[in-house]
Amino acid sequence: MVHLCFEHVNTNYTLIDLGAQDFWLGAMECVSYDMLLLNLKMTDLDILRVNAQLTAELEELNRSLAEQVAARKLELEQENVIRREADQHA
């Protein structure tokens, strides 16, 4: 178990970052403040996780879109070559 108290806020954050799962909040004067800090830290971690996930998804969408644009550009260039050749033979 991990003892969390206001006096050790930086240690608390480090333990949370390391994945500590069991929390023991000691003195009553520490409980409400530490719970608030714990909640804020967990919210921050959730935001970082979601941000990383959305960033990865956006990067994949950008790659996919770039591939689609490149493929369509190639198709249009090939169509233009065919049209020019047809115009020259006409």
pTM: 0.51
Strand partners, 4: 25
DSSP per-residue string spanning 9-73: HHHHHHHHHTT---EEE-SHHHHHHHHHHHHHHHHHHHHHHHHHHHHHHHHHHHHHHHHHHHHHH
Residue 6: the pLDDT is: 43
At 58, which amino acid appears? L
Domain count of the fold of the chain: 1
What pLDDT, in 10s, does the model give residues 57-83? 999 999 999 999 999 999 999 999 999
Q: 20 is in which domain, residue-wise?
A: 2-89
Residue 58: the pLDDT is: 95
